[in-house]
Homo-oligomer: A and B are copies of this chain.
């Protein structure tokens, strides 16, 4: 079920990618956890009066896609996010297909991995940045 890797199997340039449509239900579910019911995300009329013209998805929901891909795929099981910096470049609208990609940029012998993180919609970058993740060096080895 989980992809478990050893630290030694990682290489710079290795990447994982996943595309997912973000729905109104995701936005509602996310609000339950975050407590963020900002009308930009929930109120059609309010959003219509903003420059976005339409409800947009929480930036932190897109952040969770990045975190999920790292936790499940690369580096995968056992990895822990140490720090993360992201720029939210464009609004993401409901029902967009968001492609999240994480790519290994740097490997540190002490068990730290730096990954570039990019989310895009129709080939346009909506969110990007990087994450530092720790990974147990001796797992399954």
Contact = CB atoms under 8 A, between A and B. Distances in A.
Interface of A: 2, 18, 20, 26, 29-41, 50, 58-61, 63-69, 71-72, 77-88, 129, 136
A73 to B, nearest CB: 10
18 contacts: A26-B33, A29-B32, A29-B33, A33-B64, A34-B67, A35-B72, A36-B67, A38-B77, A38-B78, A40-B78, A50-B78, A58-B67, A59-B84, A60-B66, A80-B88, A82-B88, A84-B85, A84-B88
Nearest to A26: B33
A60 B37 CA distance: 18
A34 B64 CA distance: 5
Contacts of A78: 38, 40, 50
A34 B83 contact: no
Contacts of A77: 38-40
B60 A67 contact: yes
B67 A2 contact: no
Contacts of A86: 83-85
Nearest to A67: B60
Contacts of A20: 35
A81 B58 CA distance: 9
